[in-house]
Structure 1
């Protein structure tokens, strides 16, 4: 049985996960609805496992995952997200995630995933695994794979309507750095219009 932190900005999802996990004998150490609090809670509680959404306020799940890896957090991470596995399963694996589940699938699958991760295995369900194997074996790139984690985070914040100053404050970086990310994104998506940039990213399942 494991000591678990749940990170999701939807209260109903957190409640459902808590019921499923407690039914299986796990202990919920803490819950968070944003990425900044998630890092603080993991540092404080030192859980065995974190269930992490990617689309989070303040600091998105990819940035949290990258932080865990860069700072050698000894915690297993299960990604539970509505983000397209075609674009994010491989990226999350590379950033240290031990499992990936789409919210479109039954939440009851979380129980099996948690059991697998706590037993030392990884867990990528069939829908995610198909994209994962295709990318690894064929070395195929997607639009998302051509972006850095910070570029994806900036893109998500732009889609939420934040301006340069607000993005800089959220990511704790300079206003000039945000401008650099925006210029790179516009160039990579071959557009000069921010609205078009966001729309293209949505169509490709990146945000």
Structure 2
């Protein structure tokens, strides 16, 4: 069984995860509610497994994954998050996480995830691993370099809240063409809706 550090800013989630893991024979060696303390406690406690949420204060969970893997690449990091879109899973995978469990599903999957990761295998949907492995790093601003000049123009316009019809008029193109560019942008940036597209734009200060 393993020593586990639990990182989540919701006490009820930390408690539920702790009980679940103890039932499976694991030792919860520490609990923290933010990214900065997560790094500090990881250095002090040297757990074999870290279970963490992405949306934690002080330091983004994706950045925590990267730093933990830099400190000890053998540590198993499993993301436990209510943000379970493919885009978020790919971000976690490309940051170096070993597994992903959605809070919206049965938390019992966390036991299976830990067993799988400790056994040397990843706990991600197959399509997430494929997209993460063979596409640009969505955690790096370089992903924007995959867009053509026209795709970038459409991307910026969309993030400014402009409708396809308005963008089409400004660019002297048809609405259908703008829709095609929009689909290409979302595919290249590996997002599935406008919320994710806006989040990515804000992260890289496009808007």
TM bucket normalised to smaller = 0.5 to 0.7
**Alignment TM-score, normalising by the size of structure 1:** 0.66
Counterpart of 1:202 in structure 2 is 195
Note the C-alpha offset of 1:120: 2.1
Match for 1:130 among 127, 137, 143? 127
SS of aligned partner of 1:100: strand
Match for 1:145 among 134, 138, 141? 138
Q: Identify if the C-alpha distance between structure 1 residues 148 and 53 changes in structure 2 by more than 3 Å, giving closer, same or farther.
A: farther
Would you say the 8 A contact 1:89–1:100 is kept in 2? yes
Find the aligned partners of 2:139 and 2:27 in 1 and give their Cα distance: 39
SS of aligned partner of 2:96: coil
List alignment gaps of at least 5 residues for structure 1. Answer: 150-185
Find the aligned partners of 1:12 and 1:130 in 2 and give their Cα distance: 31
- Corresponding position: 1:78 with 2:75: no
Find the aligned partners of 2:113 and 2:95 in 1 and give their Cα distance: 18
List alignment gaps of at least 5 residues for structure 2. Answer: 143-151, 163-192, 201-207
Find the aligned partners of 1:94 and 1:57 in 2 and give their Cα distance: 21
Larger RCO (CA under 8 A, 6+ residues apart): 1
Q: Identify if the C-alpha distance between structure 1 residues 77 and 136 changes in structure 2 by more than 3 Å, giving closer, same or farther.
A: closer
Q: Which has the larger radius of gyration?
A: 2
Would you say the 8 A contact 2:4–2:49 is kept in 1? yes
**Alignment TM-score, normalising by the size of structure 2:** 0.66
SS of aligned partner of 1:94: helix
Equivalenced residues, count: 162
Would you say the 8 A contact 1:49–1:77 is kept in 2? yes
Would you say the 8 A contact 2:91–2:139 is kept in 1? no
SS of aligned partner of 1:9: coil
Would you say the 8 A contact 1:83–1:206 is kept in 2? no
Would you say the 8 A contact 1:87–1:205 is kept in 2? no
- Corresponding position: 1:190 with 2:194: no
